[in-house]
Structure 1
Amino acid sequence: MDSLTMKEVQARVDEYISQFEEGYFDPPTLVIRLCEELGELAREVSHQFGPKKKKPGEADGDMELEIGDILFILVCLCNSRGYDLADIFRRTMEKYEVRDKDRWTRKKN
């Protein structure tokens, strides 16, 4: 699949959600779902990289899909509030690029 712009991502999620009478969940429900999905990602990270390994016979998880679930819910939250993900990302990067510009050791070219 080709790379999607953030606007395309938001539009695709909106197209999906718009086919249901219920529409977007309210912000508290979306944040609760976000926490649930973050827990699933944390469990998978722990199994793959941490001390807590899977039980014998337990199915392998998929970190990428867990990240995708988190992204989907964040897009739902943004869409439900009328937020522009591209603008949020731009503003966030500006914050990091200014605040943390000298925080880490830069690679030598």
Structure 2
Amino acid sequence: MPERSMKDLQQEVDTYISQFKEGYFSPLAMLARMSEEVGELAREVNHQFGEKPKKASEEENSIELELGDILFITICFANSLGIDLTEAHDKVMKKFNTRDADRWTKIHTDSD
């Protein structure tokens, strides 16, 4: 599959959601769904890296799938509010590159 931009992903999700009469959920419902998905990610991370192994009866899942679920609901949330996630990302990176420019220890290469 060819590489796709965030705009492509937002359009793909919108095309998918647009086929249903219900459309996007309300912002509060999406926030609840997002919280639920983050909880599922936390559970997977705890199973893989923490001290709590899965029970034999628990379904197999993965961090990758949970991150995919979070990405999907994030795109739904943004689409429903008319937010361009590429622009949002650019604004956040500008903030990190200015406000936090000297916050962390940078790795220097020979060309520095």
Normalising by the residue count of structure 1, what TM-score does the alignment of the two structures yield?
Answer: 0.95
Residue 23 of structure 1 aligns with an amino acid whose one-letter code is G
1:37 has 2:37 as partner: yes
1:91 has 2:87 as partner: no
The aligned counterpart of 1:11 is 11
- Distance between the aligned counterparts of 1:30 and 1:59, measured in 2? 24
Secondary structure of 1:74's counterpart equals helix
Deviates more, 1:40-49 or 1:55-64: 55-64
Residue 64 of structure 2 aligns with an amino acid whose one-letter code is E
Q: CA deviation at 1:14?
A: 0.2
Residue 75 of structure 1 aligns with an amino acid whose one-letter code is I
Question: 1:1-109 counterparts in 2 under 5 A?
Answer: 1-109=1-109
The count of corresponding residues between Structure 1 and Structure 2 is 109
Structure 2: which 5+ residue stretches go unaligned?
none
After the TM superposition, list the runs of 4 or more consecutive aligned residues in structure 1 that deviate by more than 6 angstroms: none
- Distance between the aligned counterparts of 2:70 and 2:56, measured in 1? 27
Q: Share of identical aligned residues, percent?
A: 52
Normalising by the residue count of structure 2, what TM-score does the alignment of the two structures yield?
Answer: 0.93
